[in-house]
Amino acid sequence: MLRLPSFADPHVHLREPGSTDKEDFYTGTCAALAGGYTALLDMPNNPVPTTTEAALEEKIGLARAKIVCDVGFNFGATPDNGSEYPRIVQRVAGLKAYFGHTHGNIIFEGLPAMLAIFLSWYPAERYPHKPIMIHAEGATVAAVIGLAALYNRRIHICHLSKKSELAVIRAAKEKGIAITCEAAPHHLFLTEQEAAPDKLGAYAKMSPALQTEEDVRALWQGLADGSIDMLATDHAPHTRAEKDSSKPPFGVPGLETTFGLMYREVAEGRAGFDLARLVELLAIAPRRVFGLPEGEGEVEIDETDKYEFSNEGLYTKCGWTPFVGMKGQGRVRRVWLRGQLVFEDGKVLAASGSAKILSFEG
Ligand code: DOR
Ligand code: ZN
Ligand code: ZN
């Protein structure tokens, strides 16, 4: 058995309110415990987006009654909601800015909108743990790094998918620009070929899209050499009916599959790094970067357990995984949160609403 600090995921879509057919605060946080996570940061792209104090308060109220692991929130940026920030800043982990096509209706492209968002958030020294979390791809990644440097804003690049994006992030870090980034498991284990209609099809459709083998190799290298700071699942469940429709939405779930996928690569010597680095990527770095409490959760893992991922027995309400048929190693047997056993052998023991809403002073 391995005993590790529990994992923390800075990037999940728990879907409540507005899309509880896909997931809700209870099912999403159960999936988190099953995956070894005890702290999550939720994203704001709900049908009524979390871009106002009222929407944030509604979300916090709903979550408080249901969560079985700790949850914090990222606020949604628009070019003109800066007047909300002084009222919400103590209650959020960061500001999420969508600068490219994806699921939801808070996407703002082009320099005027990007500039307005950058200028209305806080300078890096005011809130070093509250970055602007960026959804962007390609040249837009270089553009946001430029804005971060020019206006001294802390940025965190979400779900890095391309070798070229990693190259500019590395260069920015070498220049001393305060930037962190994450990679998601789907970009590490699947390539663009998987999105073919005779393979996973819409079940491999996400934003950013799956990339080439060369990009995948570059991401693994980035995890090993430290230029990618952390893993994030970008857990983004959608129903099968939606995925089977003529206009399938972007996104895949990930909370219950990430550790097993990653640990197998480490155990079989393909990852290019060891278990200590995996723990840094899943548990230590997200807490350090986002200022989350440390030492509150533990997970016990049967490291010898090898299995194949299937759509059976998942806690996520969507009931499927894009990794079906792939192999994993290391099963989460027990999870503790603040000394309480909250998950054991496939069963959630924590009562609905027993976990904490994370607050972010300072
Ligand atoms: O694939 C994605 N799905 N990418 C995103 O940025 C949003 C997410 C969602 O909310 O479904
Ligand atoms: Zn995104
Ligand atoms: Zn996302």
**Domains of the chain (ranges, CATH numbers):** 2-348 (3.20.20.140)
């299995």: which residue's tokens?
A: 307
324 near 310, Cβ under 8 Å? yes
Q: Cβ atoms within 10 A of the Cβ of 241, count? A: 9
136 Cβ inside 6 Å of ligand 1: no
End-to-end CA distance of the chain: 38
Residue 50 CA to its chain's centroid (Å): 17
Using alpha carbons, select from 5, 10, 1 the residue that is nearest to residue 232. Answer: 10
pTM above 0.95, yes or no: yes
Name the β-bridge partners of 4: 299
Using an 8 Å Cβ cutoff, are 94 and 290 in contact?
yes
Q: Is the CB of 206 under 6 A from ligand 1?
A: yes
Chain center to CA of 16: 16
Tokens of 31: 């999936």
Under a CB-based contact definition with an 8 Å cutoff, are residues 289 and 30 in contact? no
pLDDT at 114: 98
Query: Helices (DSSP H) in 89-207: which residue ranges?
Result: 111-120, 139-151, 163-174, 185-189
Q: Exposure pattern of 208-237 as b/e (b: 16+ CB <10 Å)?
A: bebbeeebbebbbebbeeebbbbbbbbbbb
Q: Residue 190 Cα, ligand 1 centroid: separation in angstroms?
A: 16
Positive or negative: CA dihedral 326, 327, 332, 333: positive
How far does CA 204 lie from the centroid of its chain?
A: 17
Give the span between the Cα atoms of 333 and 6, in whole angstroms. 12
- The protein residues having their C-beta less than 5 angstroms from ligand 2 (an ion) are 135
Find where tokens 């700071």 sit: 229
Cis peptide before 17 (omega within 30 of 0): yes
* Cα–ligand 1 centroid distance for 322 (angstroms): 14
Q: What's the 11 CA to ligand 3 centre distance in angstroms? A: 6
* Ligand 1 pocket: which of 14, 15, 23, 102 to mutate (most atoms within 8 A of CB): 102
Measured in Å, residue 45 CA sits from the centre of ligand 2 at 9
Q: Are 71 and 290 in contact (CB under 8 A)?
A: no
DSSP labels for 290-316?
HT---SSEEEEEEEEEEEE--STT--S
The per-residue pLDDT string of the chain (362 residues; one tens digit each, 9 = 90 and over) reads: 999 999 999 999 999 999 999 999 999 999 999 999 999 999 999 999 999 999 999 999 999 999 999 999 999 999 999 999 999 999 999 999 999 988 889 999 999 999 999 999 999 999 999 999 999 999 999 999 999 999 999 999 999 999 999 999 999 999 999 999 999 999 999 999 999 999 999 999 999 999 999 999 999 999 999 999 999 999 999 999 999 999 999 999 999 999 999 999 999 999 999 999 999 999 999 999 999 999 999 999 999 999 999 999 999 999 999 999 999 999 999 999 999 999 999 999 999 999 999 988 76
Positive or negative torsion for Cα 199, 200, 206, 208? negative
Per-residue confidence (pLDDT) for residue 360, from 0 to 100: 83
* Beta carbons of 143 and 121 less than 8 angstroms apart: no
